[in-house]
């Protein structure tokens, strides 16, 4: 099995020079947190989280990767990555033209059981597996599954305009700040109308929706570490758990307890008191 330390992901093997359509690696970290500075590969990269929360950041945004999801990073795209808590992940490096219909942009995707098993199998392949052989055919099937994977809306777009970047940095610094939109506009030297127009143009969403998306990302990070729904709701500035659950359900289609539990093993779910499905009817 090709296994490396998280901190060696960008330097342990020159995957770009491996003459194969795809190369799979596994990586584990038992440290509390880790971070990889900005870098890029010629090959595209799929970073799949088995355990722990991963974040990938590019110039255009931040992608959250909860357990049983993956982030797709196109080739030659500068990006940084970090993990929260104990993490276990699988990395697939793919030649840009290895298969049709692969994602063209960075995105978070849901990993189906079949895609997961193919990834786990591919990690055990020799680096120079025989082209046209069994491993090569399984890689082709893996790429077909990857192309068909559903995209999850767990992306926090980042504006490029310097004033909006300043706004984003201030909100990220204190996500619980309940300052009115008009006051935020004043802080960055814009009218509320101009700020709203430019946000829609640059990131495709309103300020309110952008801030809710940030709350979902932060909530997933905290919930995966075992914090209760009630605690996370209060940490994000909600008056009670009910309002937070309503926001979360609207954003991702299901309440937080169910969303997290569906992405963890039975043993992990039992060990995390904050996501018991029976607690206060949070399912």
Q: Assess whether 175 and 225 both reside in one domain.
A: yes
Retrieve residue 144's tokens.
Answer: 């077909």
CA distances 102 to 33, 48, 81, Å, are: 30, 16, 21
Q: Assess whether 167 and 109 both reside in one domain.
A: no
H/E element, 152: strand 151-152
**Rounded-to-integer distance, Cα 73 and Cα 57, Å:** 10
Q: Are the CB atoms for 59 and 158 separated by under 8 Å?
A: yes
Retrieve residue 1's tokens.
Answer: 């099995």
Split at pLDDT 50, 70, 90, the class of 30 is low
Pick 101 or 277 by higher pLDDT: 101
Q: Assess whether 16 and 143 both reside in one domain.
A: yes
**Rounded-to-integer distance, Cα 118 and Cα 110, Å:** 14
Q: Assess whether 33 and 140 both reside in one domain.
A: yes
Residue after which a domain boundary falls, among 136, 152, 168: 152
- Quick check: 118 pLDDT over 60? yes
Q: What is the mean pLDDT of the chain?
A: 82
Residue after which a domain boundary falls, among 94, 122, 152: 152
Quote the number of domains for the chain: 2
Q: Assess whether 117 and 232 both reside in one domain.
A: no
Q: Assess whether 181 and 274 both reside in one domain.
A: yes
H/E element, 263: none
Q: Assess whether 14 and 53 both reside in one domain.
A: yes
Q: Assess whether 37 and 163 both reside in one domain.
A: no
Q: Domain residues for 145?
A: 3-152
Most confidently predicted of 5-9, 69-73, 96-100, 138-142? 138-142
Which CATH number goes with the domain that contains 186? Answer: 1.10.10.60
Q: Assess whether 145 and 185 both reside in one domain.
A: no
- Quick check: 54 pLDDT over 60? yes
In 3D space, the residue among 281, 258, 246 whose CA is nearest the CA of residue 66 turns out to be: 258
- Quick check: 125 pLDDT over 90? yes
Amino acid 24: pLDDT? 92
Which CATH number goes with the domain that contains 90? Answer: 2.60.120.280
Pick 39 or 55 by higher pLDDT: 39
Q: Assess whether 138 and 202 both reside in one domain.
A: no
Q: Assess whether 136 and 186 both reside in one domain.
A: no
Residue after which a domain boundary falls, among 117, 152, 187: 152
Q: Assess whether 7 and 62 both reside in one domain.
A: yes
Residue bearing tokens 């309103």 = 206
């Amino acid at each position: 099995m090709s296994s490396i330390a998280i901190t060696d992901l960008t330097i342990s093997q020159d995957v770009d020079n491996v003459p194969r359509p795809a190369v799979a690696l596994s990586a584990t970290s038992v440290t509390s947190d880790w971070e990889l500075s900005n870098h890029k590969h010629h090959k595209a990269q799929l970073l799949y989280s088995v355990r722990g929360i991963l974040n990938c950041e590019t110039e255009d945004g931040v992608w959250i990767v909860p357990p049983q999801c993956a982030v797709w990073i196109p080739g030659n795209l500068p990006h940084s990555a970090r993990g929260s808590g104990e993490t276990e992940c699988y990395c697939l490096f793919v030649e840009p033209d290895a298969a049709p219909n692969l994602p063209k942009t960075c995105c978070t995707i849901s990993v189906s059981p079949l895609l997961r098993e193919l990834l786990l199998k591919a990690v055990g392949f020799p680096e120079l597996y025989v082209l046209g052989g069994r491993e090569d055919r399984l890689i082709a099937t893996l790429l077909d599954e990857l192309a068909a994977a559903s995209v999850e809306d767990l992306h926090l777009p980042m504006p490029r305009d310097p004033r909006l970047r300043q706004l984003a940095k201030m909100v990220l610094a204190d996500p619980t700040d309940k300052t009115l939109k008009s006051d935020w506009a004043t802080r960055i030297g814009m009218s509320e109308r101009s700020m709203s127009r430019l946000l829609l143009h640059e990131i495709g969403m309103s300020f309110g929706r952008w801030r809710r998306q940030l709350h979902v990302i932060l909530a997933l990070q905290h919930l995966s570490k075992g914090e209760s729904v009630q605690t996370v709701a209060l940490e994000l500035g909600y008056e009670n758990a009910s309002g937070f659950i309503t926001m979360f359900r609207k954003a991702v289609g299901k309440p937080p307890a169910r969303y997290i539990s569906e992405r963890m093993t039975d043993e992990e779910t039992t060990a995390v008191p904050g996501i018991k499905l029976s607690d206060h009817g949070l399912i």
